[in-house]
Chains A and B, each alone.
Chain A
Amino acid sequence: MKIATIVKSELTDPKTYTTHRTKVFYHPEKLFLSDSDKAAVELAVKIAGNNGQVDLFTLEQGEVGVRVLHEALAMGAASATEFVGSDPNDPANAYLAAEKVSEYLKDQGYDLILVGDVVGSAPIAAYLAENLGFNLYENVTRLSPNWEYETELDRGQLKGKVQTPAVLTVEANAIEPELPSFPALEAAQKQTIKSVALNLDTEEASEVVVNQTQHPHVIWNLDEEPDAVEKLVAALRQDGIMK
């Protein structure tokens, strides 16, 4: 079985973005392969077994792209490719990026595409499935050897059977990834990463700006301000907390 796994980083450290007045500073050194992508790679390697092949792809840029691919290569994948010219966290042009990625993947004979479910990343799985004509299974928390899956909803789970070819988005708890060995880490660092330019129209791209509705911490005293409740409601409405 030939499997493509699209990996990305996960924002776990709030200091990945710092601010000074209206300026935003980005600290890519704080970003590493996401837990759900580790699960996706582990699952892919297990499914592929000895006769299959797992190829890695990422939309992450620069040092983050290289880092997540090296981390994932050490888990047993065969090759790594970075798509250059897109922001994996920008939902505004994810459909354009997915279109280019689909074009690249479509004639390569993949049976399965696995993507980790990362909070805050742009959703591309549905676009890939639609463009490639694959079945789509999202929020997968379990995939058995006979292809039975579980999809996580808020109050329950959907259970069914995966029909390939398929795109699956994988939750971090789908499988416990094994730690890569030191020789595997060393070999991954030496592996060549292929670059493919996406040439996206970035006119629709979104921007990262300082959150102007920060937690204000305002406390009124009802004895001193009899209209404190009116002030509270007005403040909640102004902040968009109460519409």
Chain B
Amino acid sequence: MAYFIQFEDKSLGENTSLATLAGVKANFSSLTNIVLTNHASDLHDKYANSGVKTVLYQDENFTVRDLAQTAEFLFNLLKNSNDTYIFEDSKLGNLVAARLAAKLAVPFIPSISNIKVGPNSVSLSREIDSTKVVRLSHLKGKGVISVAINGVVEKAKAEVSEKPMTISAEEPATYVEKRDAGNDLLFAKTVVAGGKGLQDAEGFKPLEQLADKLDASVGATKAVTDVGWLPVSRMIGISGVSVKPDIFYSFGIAGAVQHTTGMDQSKHIIAVNTDPTAPIFKLADYGIVGDANQVIDQLINLV
């Protein structure tokens, strides 16, 4: 049994992605999604289609500004079970996960990129920076992990229930949003980006559909934002934003250095372009030489 633990604080932008929930679900057959929130009534529909049984713990005073109280609530909730507790590999996820692990006196294994669930243990791989090695740990009993894995969001029905939690109204810290906090592209785990190879602004509609399926954010090259097919805030590259997602899908982008400077640190790059000599293929883990629009349509049907 495993629990995926998330926070939905309406006053903060530090929420978990559905793609991570989908990725965790693909690994654990018995999974419960626990959501600590201050606006449960807004969340029923979102999780009713997540395919994972979800329990929303509601208190209007809840805030992740109080990390200690959040961890204390989780400790009291989970102390008598003997399971794996999973958080997203984000700064907030890791802060609460570490506190919970310390309270439970169990291992905390952060930044896991691959999970194998065996009969007696869970094998966890963590990439060691830019090396060619991974650290392999085996969780034999109760433990806390944080994961950087992504799945495809399936629209499957799931049971959603709501329970009260009691949180005091104290706030030991204030939260100040970063200037660019509103730009999803900067924080997305998956980015789907399009270039002039998508032909016209209409070509971005299927890309947005694909992004919806992958819980991804849509990016573009400067050439695309210059002609107004997408707003400038979506521009990736030397004149725009730099992104470092887990997965970067590049459609109809040749890969000029002005663009790749903003995405070449992505963990996995998948490229589609009609030109087999396009520089983007040098960066790609996987690529398809072919029409990007055609590939996007096929991907929408396949994932």
Please list the residues of chain A having a beta carbon within 8 angstroms of any beta carbon in chain B.
11, 14-19, 24, 89-95, 98-99, 119-120, 123, 125-127, 129-131, 135-136, 138-139, 151-160, 204, 206-211, 213-223, 228-230, 232-233, 235-236, 239-243
* B26 proximity list for chain A (CB < 8 A): 243
Of chain A, the residue at the smallest CB distance from B12 is A156
**Chain B's nearest CB lies how many Å from the CB of A41?**
22
A136 to B70, CA, bound (A): 13
A45 to B238, CA, bound (A): 39
Contact (Cβ within 8 A) A236 B135: no
Contact (Cβ within 8 A) B95 A94: no
* B259 proximity list for chain A (CB < 8 A): none
Of chain A, the residue at the smallest CB distance from B20 is A243
* A90 proximity list for chain B (CB < 8 A): 135, 137
Pairs across A and B, CB under 8 Å, 18 listed: A14-B129, A17-B128, A19-B133, A89-B135, A92-B138, A153-B175, A154-B14, A156-B14, A158-B173, A159-B174, A217-B286, A221-B289, A228-B295, A229-B298, A232-B270, A241-B247, A241-B285, A243-B23
What mask results when residues 274 to 303 of chain B are scored 1 for a CB within 8 Å of chain A, else 0? 001000010011111111001100110011
* A216 proximity list for chain B (CB < 8 A): 285-286
A119 to B148, CA, bound (A): 14
A135 to B172, CA, bound (A): 12
Contact (Cβ within 8 A) B149 A240: yes
Please list the residues of chain B having a beta carbon within 8 angstroms of any beta carbon in chain A.
12-14, 22-23, 25-27, 65, 67-68, 90-92, 94-95, 98-99, 101-103, 105-111, 113-114, 125-140, 149-152, 172-178, 181, 187, 246-247, 268, 270, 276, 281, 284-291, 294-295, 298-299, 302-303
Of chain B, the residue at the smallest CB distance from A215 is B285
A95 in complex: contacting residue of B105, B138, B150, CB < 8 Å: B105
Count of A-B residue pairs with CB < 8 Å: 221
* A153 proximity list for chain B (CB < 8 A): 14, 91-92, 175
Contact (Cβ within 8 A) B295 A222: yes
Of chain A, the residue at the smallest CB distance from B247 is A241
A135 to B151, CA, bound (A): 36
Contact (Cβ within 8 A) A126 B101: yes
Contact (Cβ within 8 A) A129 B138: no
Of chain B, the residue at the smallest CB distance from A206 is B137
B107 in complex: contacting residue of A15, A92, A130, A233, CB < 8 Å: A92
Given the known interface contacts A19-B133, A158-B175, A209-B134, the answer about A217 and B288 at a Cβ–Cβ threshold of 8 Å is no
From B132, B178, B299, name the one whose CB has the most chain A CB atoms within 10 angstroms.
B132
Of chain A, the residue at the smallest CB distance from B15 is A155
A91 in complex: contacting residue of B23, B109, B114, B133, CB < 8 Å: B109
